[in-house]
Amino acid sequence: MLLEGKNAIVTGGSRGIGTAICLDLAANGANVALNFRKSATEAQHVVDEIKRMGRKALAVQADVSSFEDAQRMVRQVIEEFGSLEILVNNAGINWDGVIWKMSEEQWDAVINIDLKGTFNYCRAVAPIFRDQKYGKIVNITSINGMRGKFGQTNYSAAKAGVIGFTKALAKELGRSNVNVNAVAPGFILTEMYETVPEEVKQQALAEIALGRAGKPEEVAWVVSFLCSEKSRHITGECVQVSGGQYI
């Protein structure tokens, strides 16, 4: 077991890539807490699956864009599990639109969840990880934060920000034996995939060197590796899981 005895928080763990990450961390031995904002039923399903593996699990109602909620959730998880060693910032949304039609609400919502949410949770765990001289942080970004995407100035800006944030934080926490890395998925088969117009799907698939969309578990495998001791000399990196969609 790569993560036996470790305790983790995964934001946005009640669906899609987040659920896959929760389940793979648990399969590798970790106890896992996840947040939810509205999807309590889905979050409980993930908790139940983790418990069936013999791990501890906890679902906490918390808005990642709230500084106070992040602080409260971290305290609650440590009270429940006894310690915290892993943070995976996965929660994110997209609300697309070309810049000349984008509303302030669209911009703020994506920045507050995708970028500020990452700050909120990293800020909450950083003093703890520094004091214990150990921690693993993995921030989920996107290839669109590396290359930009038409109709996604808000999302591309937020995800690019996550990459820069990850690199800076890796420098700040490195001497405390804390690894901070990012994972950048490409086109992944999640619930959102079903809502994508067929034309857009075909355009995305045409970009992928391997000729297929990725699966959530293929992202989760990389995250679990980066949370393990097998990656202890890797920090400040952004690992693409895109099948060669952006080379």
Indicate if 155 belongs to the active site. Answer: yes
Residue appearing with tokens 């399903």: 45
CATH of the domain at 39: 3.40.50.720
Residue at 1 is within a domain = no
Domain that holds residue 155: 7-241
Query: What pTM, to 2 d.p., does this model score?
Result: 0.97
pLDDT per residue as tens digits for the range 116-131: 999 999 999 999 999 9
How many Cβ atoms from other residues are within 10 Å of residue 94's Cβ?
20
pLDDT per residue as tens digits for the range 41-54: 999 999 999 999 99
Looking only at the bridges linking them, the beta strands covering 86-89 and 238-241 are: unpaired
Residue at 2 is within a domain = no
Residue at 246 is within a domain = no
Q: What is the mean pLDDT of residues 94-121?
A: 97
Residue at 211 is within a domain = yes
User: Mean of the per-residue pLDDT values for the chain?
Assistant: 96
Rounded CA separation 190/188 (Å): 6
Above 80 in pLDDT, residue 205?
yes
Active-site hit among 121, 134, 155, 193: 155
The phi and psi torsions of 184 (rounded to 5 degrees) equal -115, 95
DSSP string across 112-132: IIIIIHHHHHHHHHHHHHHHH
Total structural domains within the chain: 1
Above 90 in pLDDT, residue 38?
no
